[in-house]
């Protein structure tokens, strides 16, 4: 069963999860209102209290959806953020608000519900709450949950296993090749970003990067390990964990972990875990999850840790 707060586990940090929740709300609303204009607004100081709107912007009254990724409670700080977002929207001169909706990843408590209903009655525009279960129902009915919760990698490997088993072939090598190819692309992007921050400061990493650029998968693994357990400064190690995917705002190192997690799970199912444990990418996966760098992960603002 999917839960909106699982987005923190998927993206690894609060920033990525918050952006993921806003994207999910936009996708769900696009599917729910296919005959209407549905647009997300990029987060900025001038977003006028809109995350997603439905309607003709600037031409007709629009429905405004505010997506607040509050995962624990609705305290005074969260209440003020909600009030401020509403006030920005209804005070904007660029558009007129018809209805204002609040999307949350958690259900409200009794006291929070009492506060919301009382506050909504004081507003001069209709204000409604989109409960998490209703939002999830919309996502499921539109077939969006696998995309939102990023099950594509797992489904892709399931498809490979199914096809090769139909041919009486061992799927393991195809699974491993697909995963390591995907993981290499993730590491390649991560290493490029990290290398640019170092500005040629470490010749041995420059040499390693050049090999990675030529497609050396094992060298990509070695680069990561050289940074995390090598003689680099602490902030230079943290950079490795802090490089974000431009679209999802997910740490690329965490994206590597999630992608390789799927293969680790399959290795247990297929009885190939011991074989996998000797691979370079497995050792990289272990280091990135290791308690020895838990302080680095915290300083890089990862919202999760590993057993």
Domain of 81: which CATH number?
3.40.1350.10
Mean pLDDT value across the chain: 88
Is pTM beyond 0.85? Reply is no
53: which strand partners? 39, 64
- Give yes or no: residues 126 and 260 share one domain: no
256, pLDDT greater than 60: yes
Is residue 119 located within the same domain as residue 38? yes
The pLDDT, as a whole number, for residue 157 is: 57
What's the pLDDT score for residue 296?
Answer: 95
State residue 48's pLDDT score: 65
**Band of the pLDDT at 307, cuts 50, 70, 90?**
low
Asked if residue 307 belongs to a domain, the reply is: no
pLDDT band at 159 (very low <50, low <70, confident <90, very high): low
Q: What is the pLDDT of residue 44?
A: 57
Scored b (16 or more CB within 10 A) or e, 160-189 reads bbeebeeeeeebbeebbebbbebbbebbbb
- Examine the fold and report which residue of 86, 112, 145 is the final residue of a domain before the chain moves on: 145
Distance CA 99, CA 247 (A): 29
Contact 64, 89 (CB under 8 A): yes
Question: Do 57 and 139 share a domain, yes or no?
Answer: yes
- Write b or e for each residue in 82-106: b if 16 or more Cβ atoms lie within 10 A of its Cβ, otherwise e: beebbebbbebeebbbeebbbbbbb
Pick the more confident residue, 303 or 289.
289
Confidence of residue 60 (pLDDT cuts 50, 70, 90): confident
Residue 168 in this model has a pLDDT that exceeds 90? no
Domain residues for the domain of 166 are 152-299
User: In 10 A of CB 51, how many CB atoms?
Assistant: 24
pLDDT over 80 at 184, yes or no: yes
Residue 186 confidence (pLDDT): 93
């Amino acid at each position: 069963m999917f839960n909106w707060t699982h987005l923190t586990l998927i993206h690894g940090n609060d920033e990525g999860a918050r952006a993921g929740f806003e994207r999910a709300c936009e996708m769900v609303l696009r599917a729910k209102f296919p005959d209407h204009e549905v647009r997300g607004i990029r987060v900025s100081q001038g977003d006028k209290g809109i995350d997603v709107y439905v309607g003709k912007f600037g031409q007709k009254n629009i429905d405004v959806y505010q997506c607040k990724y509050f995962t624990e409670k609705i305290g005074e700080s969260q209440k003020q953020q909600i009030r401020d977002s509403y006030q920005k929207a209804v005070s904007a001169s660029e558009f007129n608000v018809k209805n204002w909706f609040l999307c949350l990843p958690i259900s409200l408590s009794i006291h929070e519900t009492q506060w919301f209903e009382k506050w909504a009655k004081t507003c001069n525009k209709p204000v409604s709450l989109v409960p998490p279960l209703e939002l999830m129902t919309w996502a499921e009915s539109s077939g969006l949950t696998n995309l939102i919760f990023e099950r594509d990698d797992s489904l892709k490997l399931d498809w490979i296993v199914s096809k090769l088993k139909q041919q009486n072939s061992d799927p393991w090598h195809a699974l491993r090749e697909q995963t390591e190819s995907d993981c290499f692309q993730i590491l390649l992007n991560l290493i490029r970003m990290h290398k640019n921050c170092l500005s040629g400061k470490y010749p041995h990493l420059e040499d390693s990067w050049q090999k990675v650029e030529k497609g050396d998968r094992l060298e990509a693994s070695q680069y990561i390990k050289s940074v995390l357990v090598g003689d680099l400064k602490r902030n230079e190690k943290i950079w490795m964990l802090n490089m974000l995917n431009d679209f999802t705002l997910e740490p690329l190192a965490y994206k590597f972990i999630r992608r390789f997690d799927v293969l680790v799970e399959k290795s247990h199912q297929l009885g190939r875990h011991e074989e996998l444990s000797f691979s370079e990418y497995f050792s990289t996966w272990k280091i990135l999850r290791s308690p020895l760098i838990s302080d680095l992960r915290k300083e890089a603002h990862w919202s999760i840790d590993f057993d």
